[in-house]
Amino acid sequence: MGRRKIEIAAVKDPNTRQVTFSKRRTGLFKKANELSILCGAEIAIVVFSIGNRPYSFGHPGVDVVAAKFLEHEIIKSNDVKQNNVEVGDIGRLNQQLLDIEARILVEEKKGLELDQILKQHRLSQPSQFKQLQDSYLEFQRRLKDYTDAIEVSECLILLAQEPVVEITKQVKKRRKN
Of 6-45, binders to DNA (CB under 7 A) are 6, 15-16, 18-20, 22-24, 26-28, 30-31, 34
Binding-site partner at residue 26 among DNA, a copy of itself, none, CB < 5 to 8 Å by type: DNA
The answer to whether 27 contacts a copy of itself (rule: CB under 8 A) is yes
Residue 56's DSSP bridge partners are 46
The answer to whether 49 contacts DNA (rule: CB under 7 A) is no
- For the chain, the C-alpha Rg in angstroms (whole number) is 23
With beta carbons less than 8 A apart as the criterion, state whether 173 and 148 touch: no
The C-alpha angle 157, 162, 167, rounded to 5 degrees, equals 85
The answer to whether 170 contacts a copy of itself (rule: CB under 8 A) is no
The C-alpha angle 12, 14, 16, rounded to 5 degrees, equals 85
Binding-site partner at residue 137 among DNA, a copy of itself, none, CB < 5 to 8 Å by type: a copy of itself
Residue 55's DSSP bridge partners are 47
Which residues make up the interface to DNA (CB under 7 A)?
Answer: 1-6, 15-16, 18-20, 22-24, 26-28, 30-31, 34
